[in-house]
Amino acid sequence: MDLNPNKLTIPQVMESFREFGLSKLDSELLADCINVQKACTWQNNDEITDEAVEKAKAFLNENKLGILVEVTPSRFGKFIWETKKEKD
């Protein structure tokens, strides 16, 4: 798979995530997972909408950034973020 055919920079990726409604921290962490092409997991209580997550997933897929993301509500108003490398 030819990753990142649009040659997006990490700051461009983070800016797009912020426009979708992801917090600054989540945008930075997700962009870092893309940059290092590794699975990552984190948890925080930053508000996130299903719509923002779906936009981020579509962006990752459309731009072939090689990472899949899932966000799961957890206890005490927290969210668990999990990324994994997309299989070739």
Condensed to tens digits (0 to 9), the pLDDT of residues 44-79 reads 999 999 999 999 999 999 999 999 999 999 999 999
User: Rounded to two decimals, what is the model's pTM?
Assistant: 0.90
Q: What is the 3-state secondary structure of 22-57?
A: CCHHHHHHHHHHHHHCCCEEEEECCCCCHHHHHHHH
Q: How confident is the model at residue 85 (pLDDT cuts 50, 70, 90)?
A: very high
Q: How confident is the model at residue 19 (pLDDT cuts 50, 70, 90)?
A: very high
Q: Is the pLDDT of residue 1 over 90?
A: no
Which residue ranges make up each domain of the chain? 10-85
Query: What is the spatial distance between Cα 31 and Cα 27, in angstroms, rounded to a whole number?
Result: 6
- What is the rounded average pLDDT of the residues 8-24? 95
